[in-house]
Chains A and B, each alone.
Chain A
Amino acid sequence: MNTILITVKLAIITSVILLGVGIPIAFWLSRSKAKIKPIVDALVALPLVLPPTVLGFYLLLALSPGSWFGSLAVTVLGKPLVFSFEGLVIGSVLYSLPFMVYPVQSGMKGLSPRLYEAAQSLGKSNLQILWDVVLPNIRPSLLAGLVLTFAHTVGEFGVVLMIGGSIPGETRVASIAIYDEVEALNYSSANKYALILVGISFLALTLLYSGQKRINRFW
């Protein structure tokens, strides 16, 4: 049960952090004509094409106490980030970034440019336009971003294995537990974890589709 709680806790924290991080990135990507936009686009998409072990490997190096970031974390947190829950959160945020940014960016691009222009002509700042006009009108996309990020984090394996290992009660999430149980030829236990993951993912997606329908009915 502890393993499932850690999995759900990781997915919820990752989704909430990504909501805060992903919205400004998506807003910038949907509006910007800057020359560096393709580079930012590529960076956001990288986790989609890279093997999770590659991302996990570089995160392992970056978070280890030997790196400047890792040693800073040891000073601040009093413990290393690798093989810790906090390290898993950092890895999950990076790994699931496109799953938040793309639905939100797509929702923003789908809004009529006249809405931005009308708000601009009314003297509103970008922050006011984002908060009062853009976000309320892309609620289905926000929900999609949240649910996809949640479901993707629940199912991640490679990154978690590389930077978190399988410490029960700390970094052992459900997907790792399935792997461990199969290795130990404990198929019935693996099956329990697998069924719970199927259930969580199915619930999340059902929530997404029914929620989108309901939100769309508001106007």
Chain B
Amino acid sequence: MLRVSVNKKLNGSGGMMDLSIDFSVENGECIALFGPSGAGKTSILRMIAGFLKPDSGRIQMNDQLWFSSRDKANLSSSLRNLGIVFQENALFPNMTVHRNLKFALRNGQGASRIEEFMELFELELLKDQYPHELSGGQKQRVSLARAMIYNPSTLLLDEPFASLDEHSTSRLSGLVLEMRRSFNPSIILVSHSRNEVRDIAQRVLCIQEGRVLRDISIAEFQAL
């Protein structure tokens, strides 16, 4: 289980905001952080990823401590076993699609996994293309494949559908669900779109001004 209990003073576009969040995610559960822009959703995700240091609090994954202000612990993001899909394209521009996936493999993971993922994500025809030659939807498919290829325990999705058309969004959300079925990672989706949340999440944390306003099931969310 991932337990997150952190505080952070943020300086956003709407001025200073005290972010104070306390929630947990069961292993294999898929939750969404839902709320308007500037609510602090991405900052929460960045703190879980280890890219943003909380002012105080604790983040723990099962028995592994990721962050603790009291114990002065802050585990490097490279050791948190996370997969991340960013809103903006973060594929390595100097690497082909195949190389992007190969670069993500951990020691001991066979190259046959690349072929498996290429097929699963329908990337075979794109394997020798560079990121700048891909469409937005294709880039996000490669990003998701790269984030999952080394079998991380947690998948973080930071508004991955934000710049995609309806068709690409539906294809990518289908792949996220497929990843959940096949590899069962804990998933945290950041989104301000009700449709995306409805399609993917089991539970929703409604975030507003750095606070959890509601912690509800997807059925309750749909009834709102």
Contacts and interface: CB of A to CB of B under 8 A. Distances in A.
A117 B76 CA distance: 11
A115 B130 CA distance: 15
B30 to A, nearest CB: 19
Contacts of B83: 121
A121 B131 CA distance: 19
Contacts of A112: 88, 90
Interface in A112-140: 112, 114-115, 117-125, 132-133, 136-137
Listed residue (B92, B131, B132) with the most chain A CB atoms within 10 angstroms of its CB: B92
Contacts of B112: none
Given A115-B92, A118-B146, 8 more contacts: A112-B88, A112-B90, A115-B90, A117-B84, A121-B49, A121-B84, A122-B104, A219-B132
Interface in A87-134: 112, 114-115, 117-125, 132-133
B174 interface: no
Interface in B75-123: 76-84, 86, 88-94, 103-104, 106
A55 to B, nearest CB: 37
Contacts of A219: 93-94, 130-132
A115 to B, nearest CB: 6
Given A137-B93, A219-B132, A121 B88 contact: no
A120 B90 contact: no
Contacts of A125: 78
A137 B94 contact: yes
B94 A122 contact: no
A133 B104 contact: no
Contacts of B80: 121
Given A112-B88, A125-B78, A219-B132, A117 B51 contact: yes
Contacts of B161: none
Nearest to A219: B130
B133 to A, nearest CB: 8
A141 to B, nearest CB: 13
B77 A117 contact: yes
A-B CB proximity, top 9 nearest: A114-B90, A136-B94, A118-B90, A121-B84, A123-B78, A120-B77, A122-B104, A219-B130, A120-B78
A110 to B, nearest CB: 12
Given A123-B78, A124-B78, A219-B132, A118 B150 contact: no
Contacts of A121: 49, 77-78, 80, 82-84, 147
A118 B94 contact: no
A124 B86 CA distance: 17
Given A112-B88, A114-B86, A114-B88, A120 B94 contact: no
